Structure 1
Amino acid sequence: MASAAAFLAFSLFALHLCCCHGQAADAGNGVTAIYSLGDSITDTGNLVKEAPPGMFETIKHLPYGVTFGYPTGRCSDGLLMIDFLAQDLGLPFLNPYLGKNKSFDHGVNFAVAGATAMDPADQFNRSIPVPFVANSLKVQLRWFKDFMKSSFATDGEIRKRLQNSLVLVGEIGGNDYNYAFFGNKEINEVEKLIPGVVRTIIDATKEVLEMGANRVIVPGNFPIGCVPGYLTMKAGSSEPSDYDSSGCLRELNLFAAKHNSRLQRAVADLKAAYPNASVAYADYFNSFLALLQNASSLGFDAASTRKACCGAGGGDYNFDRRRMCGAEGATACAEPSTYVSWDGIHMTQAAYRAMSSLIYHGRYLEPQILNFPEKYGQT
C-alpha cells in the first residue's frame, strides 16, 4: 500500500483531476431549474464546505478564481461549463448544496470535487488507498432525494418540478480510475472497473428518471491522455510511438474511449426504456479533441495546449505534483484565457466556455434536447 504521505499527495492530485415526450420540439424550452451531480468538473463549492481545515486549501485561495475575481471553490481560474450552461438557459449560477443561506430556487449543485461514481467501500481494497472524498454518486443522489422531499410536499409535486428541470448526472467516474491508476494498477486491470462504474452511473440516472425527470444529460469522460498531469506522470516511461499526432497518450485515450463507448450504449438503452423522457449523452471526449485541433481559431495558444497555466516544473507540461497550483513555488500565467489547462488537471474558464459552446451549441450533445432562449443566446 502507498504511504500516507504519498496518498495525501495523490488525493490532492486526484481532486484536481479531480425531458418532454420523446424528442419533442420544445424539449429544451421551459427549463426553470438545473440539478447537477458530479465531481470537480462541476463542483461550484461543495468540497470547500465539506473538507476539514487544512485539507485542499489551495482551491480556497487565489490564484484559483483569479479570472472570476475571487476564489469560489471551483477548480479553475473562473467559471465552469455548468455556469455557462446556466447562463445560456437564462438561469443564475447553481449554488452548492452544502452552502449556507443560499437560494436553491433555480436548482442545486450536488457535485463534489474528488468524488467517485462507485462507493469507495465497493471499489477500493488494500491495494488501492481509499480516497479522502467519500461523497460518491450514491451519496449525492441521496442528497438530491432528501432535498426534493424536504422542498416539496408530495411525489406529485416533485414530478411537476422535474418536468421543468434539467438534471446532469456527471461527469463522474474519472476519479474511480484515477485512484486505481495511482494504486499502480495496469490499464488492463483498471478496465475491469468500467462495467461497474458505468452501471453505477446508469442506475443513478434511472432513479432520477423514476422520480419524474424528463430532461437528463449524461456526460462521458475526457481524453485523459491529453491532460498535462497524466502526460507528466507518464513522461519518463513513454516512447515516441506512445503519443498521437496531438501529443496525447494513445493508451490512456483508448481507455477513456472504452469507458465512453460502454456508457453511450447504456444511455441508448435508457432512451429506449424511457421513451417519454429526453435523455442525451454529452461527448466530452470528442469535443475536447475538437478544441485542441482548433485551438488557434478559438483564441488559444496552440503551443500551450498541453501546458498548465498555473503550476511549477516548466517543460512541456508545467506540472509538478509536489508543487501544484496554489502551492509554494507554483505560479500562474499572465493570460489564462490563452491556455486550455488551468492547473494541469482542470481547464481554464476560457476552455470551459469553448467546451460548453461545442457541446450545447454544437454537435456534441447527442441528441440535442435543449433550445436556448433567444434573449440569452450563447455566452
Structure 2
Amino acid sequence: MAMIGGTARDYSGTSMFTGYGVHLDGSMDSQMEALRRLLPCICGTRQSCKEYLAKSLFVFQLGENDYKIQLVNGSTLHEARKSIPSIVNTITSGVEKLITLGAVDIMVSNVAPMGCYPLYLNFFESSDKGDYDEYGCLRNHNALFDRHNSFLKNGLRKLQKKHQHTRIMHADLASQIYQMVQDPKKFGFGIGTILMGCCGKANAPNGFDLLAMCGMDGSSVCHDPGSHLTWDGMHLSDAANKHIAEGWLSGTYCRPPILW
C-alpha cells in the first residue's frame, strides 16, 4: 500500500519541502486502512483473508521520510533523535496489526545511511570537514539513522519472541548501502559517481539541486545510470535496487532470508 512520501507517523498536510507543494498523506495508519478497505475485494470473508494473507509476503520500509521531513524543515539532529522511540514503536505496532489480520511472513527494512545521499549532502552541506566521514558522508546524520536502526532491531526481536508463529525478517539496508559507498567498484559503481545523483542538475554539488530536481527545467540525465547509487539523489538506482533485492532474497543482508 506504498504511497508517495510514505511515513510511519502521521504528518497530514505537512510539506516535505516547504513551498514546493510536496505534501505528506501516506502514514502507516492510512496505508493500513487502505489495506483493510481493499481486502474484501481481493479475498472476500475475514477467514478467507486470513488464509490469503498467510500466503503473502509483506515488506515494511518506513522511517526515512519521518526524519527527512523533520530535518529539511528545520529540526536539529538532537530534536530528531528524540522522535526515534515514537517512530520505531509506530512501525512495530503496524507489523503487529498485520499479524492480527493474518500475516505470517513480514520483512522490515531498517533506514538507509541517508547522510550519503545527494539530497542530504546538498541540504546539510558543512564547511567543517569533521562533519564528514572518510567516504564523504555526513557523519552525524548517519549516527542518527544508526540509532534508529538499533532501536528497530531490538523492537523486532521482541516482536518475534511474542509472535513465534510468524517469520519477521530484518533487512539490513543500512549495512548494504554503506558497503556500496565504501567499495563502489565491487558493486559495479563508479568511484567518482557513488555520491552523485544521475538525474538532476549535472553541475550542482552531488548532482542535486532542489530547484532543478529530476524532471524539472534545468535537469538532465547522466549517460550511465548503472554507475550511480542513487537515481535522483533521493531514490536508489535500478542497479542499487538489484543488489539489494539479491541480498534480501538470499539472506546476505536479511535475517532470516526471504527465500529459504
Q: TM-score, normalising length from structure 1?
A: 0.64
**Aligned with 2:102 (options 209, 212, 216):** 212
Q: Which moved more, 1:355-364 or 1:218-227?
A: 355-364
Letter in 2 for 1:317: N
1:143 is aligned to 2:34: yes
Q: After TM superposition, give the deviation of residue 365 of structure 1 in Å.
A: 0.4
Match of 1:232 in 2: 122
Q: Distance in 2 between matches of 1:364 and 1:354?
A: 10
* Long gaps (5+) in structure 2: none
Which residue of 1 is the match for residue 10 of structure 2? 119
Q: Percent of aligned pairs with the same residue? A: 28
TM-score normalised over the length of structure 2: 0.92
Superposition misfits of 4+ residues, deviation over 3 angstroms: 128-131
* Contact 1:227 1:344 (8 Å CA) reproduced: yes
Aligned position for 2:78: 188
In structure 2, the residue matched to 1:178 is 68
How far off is 1:360 after superposition? 2.4
Does 1:319 pair with 2:194?
A: no
What amino acid is the match of 2:40? K
1:212 & 1:362 partners in 2: Cα distance?
A: 24
Maintained 8 Å contact 1:148/1:158: yes
Shift of 1:328: 0.8
Task: Mark the runs of 5 or more structure 1 residues left unpaired by the alignment.
Answer: 1-109, 372-379
8 A Cα contact 1:359 1:365, kept in partner: yes
Task: Using the TM superposition, give the Cα deviation of residue 147 of structure 1 relative to its aligned residue in structure 2, in angstroms.
Answer: 1.3
Conserved? CA contact 1:242–1:250, under 8 Å? yes
Q: How many residues align?
A: 257
Structure number with higher helix proportion: 2
Q: 1:199 aligns with which of 89, 94, 112?
A: 89
- In the alignment, which residue of structure 2 is the partner of 1:268? 157
Cα shift readout 1:208-258 (whole Å, capped 9, x = no counterpart): 0111111001111100110011111222x3411111121111100000011
Q: Deviations over 1:112-167 (max 9, x none)?
A: 1212211125x979xx9996121211111011111112333322111111221111
For residue 185 of structure 2, the aligned residue among 291, 296, 303 is 296
Q: Is the 8 A contact 1:115 1:137 kept in 2?
A: yes
Once the two structures are superposed, the pairs formed by residues 334-373 of structure 1 within 5 Å of their partners are 334-371=223-260
CA RMSD of aligned residues (A): 2.0
How far apart in 2 are the matches of 1:359 and 1:245? 27
Which of residues 153, 158, 161 in structure 1 aligns to 2:49?
158
